[in-house]
Structure 1
Amino acid sequence: MKFKPMTEQDYQRLGETLSRLAPQGAMSLEKLDGFFAALHAGPEAIKPVDCLPTILGAAFDDEAAFPSPKAFEKFATQVMGHWLEIARTLEKGEDFHPWLDADEHGVVHGNDWAEGFSEGMQILYDDWALLFDDAEAAGALAPIMALAFEHHPDPEMRPFLDGASAEQKAEWLGEISASVAQIYRFFATLRQEMEDAESEANDD
């Protein structure tokens, strides 16, 4: 089944639906973008349909969350469309631009995006250890984890106890694109090496 590229209207409607369901624990569009970036860049791609309960929270089991089955189907199509947009970007080696919303003062924080990425890492957490254990590649996670834990309830988990400066935040935000690309290449290389090793073993 082919999906057309997402339009601005598609994204507006997807964002509006997620905002409407936020009281039930649904992700924001920013958090969804980070979540999907982790699933794509990580050890193994996971179908977005399998993640709908995580994306929607309690709304997933609420029959009243969507006015009709067709409305839910439309939402699922938009979620899949965004998933495919990220897939195409990373597979083609194009620059990845995270979806970062500004607050009422026009300031971009990026914490929701990073928290979404961190949540995506939890699904195959044991396999992410391959990245943590690689001294050269592990640094790609630094700006993302800094944003994800900036306001952690446990002060010892925060990168800066009193919060990061605007300059530091800008630096972290500016590094997201390169970090996602580097993480994607790291795991793509590992998968290819495993496939090559398996193929050689079968040939023997």
Structure 2
Amino acid sequence: MNETAMSDADYQKLGQTLAGLAGQGAMKLEMLDGFFAALVAGPEVIRAAECLPQILGRAWDDDAAFPGPKAFDEFMRLVNGHWHEVSATLLAGDDYYPWLDADDAGRVSGNDWAEGFEQGMALQPADWQLAFDDADAGAALAPIMTLAMEREADPALRTTVSDAQREELLGQLSPAVSRLHDFFRTLREKMAAELAAAEQEKTSF
């Protein structure tokens, strides 16, 4: 039995809790999903509990943000549960599907998800640069960054996405995360093998 499995009710409660803290800068559920995708797929896996200030915004320092310890513990159960689901999916090599919410008009933009992913990358900028510098990994990052930059404050950096382009970009997110996860996993395995070989060389003298 997978004790970390999240039910629909769990996700509804997690989304409602985050929405209730939105005024204090907490992430939306869609943004949290993108954030976790970057934490798990990236250079070094970062657990959810290490990133509560980023997740909760100003609510992290607000003792009144949660009614009591039990409410906070339940929130942590839900946050960790979702993180584990993202992690288990990528580690198993299964297809990862981003959590994308529709707005009041029924439109799915993907901006919140991409901005969450970008925030996850910002925790390890130097290591993520390795992906930008690699042809295949850089191509995987392209649709994510295009959506993330669509709401950029600086007009010179802001991207413009047509409806047709958006549909294509959204369809590229799932394979992009898998490709990035494979890129960094291969890189870690290569570095571990080189380190082991160097240690073996030292002991052979």
The question of a shared fold, defined as TM-score above 0.5 by the shorter chain, is answered with yes
Q: What residue number does 2:190 align with?
A: 193
CA deviation digits over 1:112-171, x for unaligned, max 9?
0000000000000011111111123211000000000012111111222xxx21101101
Percent identity between the two aligned chains: 54
- Return the alpha-carbon distance in structure 2 between the equivalents of residues 107 and 136 of structure 1: 30
Are 2:25 and 1:25 equivalent residues in the alignment? yes
Q: Structure 1, unaligned stretches of length 5 or more? A: none
Are 2:199 and 1:167 equivalent residues in the alignment? no
The DSSP-based 3-state class of the residue aligned with 2:151 is coil
Amino acid at match of 1:198: L
Which residues in structure 2 correspond to 1:12-161 (within 5 Å)?
12-160=12-160
Amino acid at match of 1:136: D
The DSSP-based 3-state class of the residue aligned with 1:150 is helix
How much does 1:3 deviate?
A: 3.5
- Return the alpha-carbon distance in structure 1 between the equivalents of residues 166 and 187 of structure 2: 31
Q: TM-score, normalised by structure 1?
A: 0.96
- Return the alpha-carbon distance in structure 2 between the equivalents of residues 72 and 22 of structure 1: 16
Aligned pairs, how many? 200
Amino acid at match of 1:109: S
Q: Structure 2, unaligned stretches of length 5 or more? A: none
- Return the alpha-carbon distance in structure 2 between the equivalents of residues 195 and 29 of structure 1: 35
Q: Are the equivalent residues in 1 in contact too, given 2:4–2:85 (CA < 8 A)? A: no
CA deviation digits over 1:38-94, x for unaligned, max 9?
011110011211100110001011111100101101101110000000001000111
- Return the alpha-carbon distance in structure 1 between the equivalents of residues 44 and 185 of structure 2: 9
Amino acid at match of 1:34: G
Instruction: Report the aligned-residue RMSD.
Output: 1.0
The DSSP-based 3-state class of the residue aligned with 2:156 is helix
Q: After the TM superposition, which parts of structure 1 deviate over 4 Å for at least 4 consecutive aligned residues?
A: none
